[in-house]
């Protein structure tokens, strides 16, 4: 308004052709405006100087499913990068389902500083608002947890021994009431995306799984279509408008219940693909939890590289090739091997619905 008033003050003289009238310089007008506001040029910076270039807000990161094996590693890696003033992250928050899980996580991270542990249940949306409040980045590591039938596992082992591996069977699994894939991996993930949107989150990284294009795969046929429900949730995220990164790891090493040994990260070359193409490459369709967590962290640190990407993740044999170190530039180099490809979601993925309303309890439990 002041600029308009000043221009109007000089307008009649200009129109009348007053020979004594001179157009005020931009500098003069700026000085006049600053003087009226009680400021001077000495206490302001040039409008386009480097020091006034907008800087990204300090990262406040939430990890959901932080009580799980992968989630725990993600939290640890975030904390190792530093939390606090002048550090990589302003805050790191971990969401677990129960006080018992919170205590377990706190114990495992007692050598590190800066963790904020909260409880929340993705099947109870009322518990999510406080967990997501104030966060601007989220790593979703939640997943329905199948329970294995010990009797079926014993039969599987016995059959292999008796027949000298000539005959095999698969163990059966079941889920706790209300904690199946539809409730956790579809509705629970969607609830998290909605909570993230309400909180103003600017980037979501989701840990999903391969086999989203394989309804006949064991993970779907014996685990209540768990990956198909995950893929349905992914479709919702891609349409939400929130910047996202979706990672589909292959088999996670070490396999829980089948291996007591460690599977260390940064010892294998990583490979990326889309739409389960790595499943056909037996030497590339598994990845360590350590390496998966490292990729998640790099996606959070480098959202300009990771946002809008959805890809599969596997690795080669240990000590072969060039391992993923998680250094600046490593993530971009890895994703560049995709040649711009992303997961191709289909309408059928978004419309997936349970074929049988009864909860699955393995092959033999209907």
Residues 178, 202, 275: CA angle, nearest 5 degrees: 65
Nearest Cα neighbor of 176 from 156, 142, 196, 146 is: 146
Residue 111, Cβ neighbours under 10 Å: how many? 8
What are the backbone angles phi and psi of residue 313, rounded to the nearest 5°? -135, 125
Nearest Cα neighbor of 71 from 135, 126, 141, 8 is: 141
Distance CA 269, CA 315 (A): 5
Catalytic hit among 209, 260, 310, 315: 209
Distance set, CA 111 to CA 73, 106, 161, 220, 314 (Å):
14, 9, 44, 39, 30
Partners of 252 in beta bridges: 287
Whether 209 is a known active-site residue: answer: yes
In the structure encoding, which two tokens stand for residue 251, read together?
Answer: 């088999």
Give the per-residue SS3 of 220-252: HHCCCCHHHHHHHHHHHHHCCCCCEEEEEECEE
DSSP state of 25: P
In the structure encoding, which two tokens stand for residue 352, read together?
Answer: 């997936």
- Kind plus residue range of the DSSP H or E element containing 335: helix 330-336
In the structure encoding, which two tokens stand for residue 245, read together?
Answer: 């990164």
Residue 194, Cβ neighbours under 10 Å: how many? 16
Residue 177, Cβ neighbours under 10 Å: how many? 8
- The residues annotated with a catalytic role in the active site are 209
């Amino acid at each position: 308004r002041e600029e308009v008033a000043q221009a109007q003050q000089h307008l009649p003289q200009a129109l009348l052709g007053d020979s004594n009238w001179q157009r005020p310089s931009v500098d003069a007008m700026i000085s006049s405006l600053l003087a009226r506001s009680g400021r001077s040029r000495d206490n302001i910076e040039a409008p386009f100087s480097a020091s006034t270039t907008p800087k990204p807000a300090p990262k406040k990161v939430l990890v959901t499913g932080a009580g799980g094996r992968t989630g725990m590693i993600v939290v640890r890696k975030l904390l190792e990068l530093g939390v606090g003033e002048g550090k990589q992250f302003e805050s790191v928050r971990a969401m677990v389902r129960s006080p018992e899980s919170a205590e377990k996580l706190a114990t495992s991270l007692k050598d590190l500083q800066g963790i904020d542990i909260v409880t929340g249940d993705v099947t109870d949306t009322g518990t999510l608002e406080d967990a997501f409040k104030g966060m601007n980045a989220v790593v979703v590591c939640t997943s329905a947890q199948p329970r294995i039938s010990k009797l079926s596992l014993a039969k599987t082992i016995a059959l292999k021994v008796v027949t000298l591996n000539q005959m095999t069977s698969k163990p059966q699994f079941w889920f706790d009431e209300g904690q199946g894939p539809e409730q956790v991996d579809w509705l629970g993930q969607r609830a998290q995306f909605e909570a993230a949107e309400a909180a103003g989150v600017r980037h979501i990284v989701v840990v999903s799984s391969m086999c989203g294009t394989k309804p006949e795969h064991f993970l779907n046929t014996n685990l209540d279509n768990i990956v198909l429900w995950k893929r349905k949730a992914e479709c919702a995220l891609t349409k939400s408008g929130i910047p996202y990164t979706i990672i589909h790891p292959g088999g996670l090493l070490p396999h829980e219940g089948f291996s007591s040994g460690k599977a260390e990260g940064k010892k294998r070359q990583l490979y990326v693909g889309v739409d389960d193409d790595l499943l056909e490459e037996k030497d590339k369709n598994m990845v360590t939890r350590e390496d998966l967590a490292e990729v998640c962290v790099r996606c959070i640190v480098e959202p300009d590289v990771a946002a809008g990407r959805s890809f599969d993740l596997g690795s080669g044999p240990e000590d072969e090739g060039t391992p993923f170190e998680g250094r600046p530039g490593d993530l971009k180099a890895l994703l560049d091997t995709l040649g711009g490809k992303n997961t191709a979601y289909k309408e059928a993925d978004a419309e997936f619905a349970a074929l049988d309303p009864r909860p699955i309890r393995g092959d033999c439990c209907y």
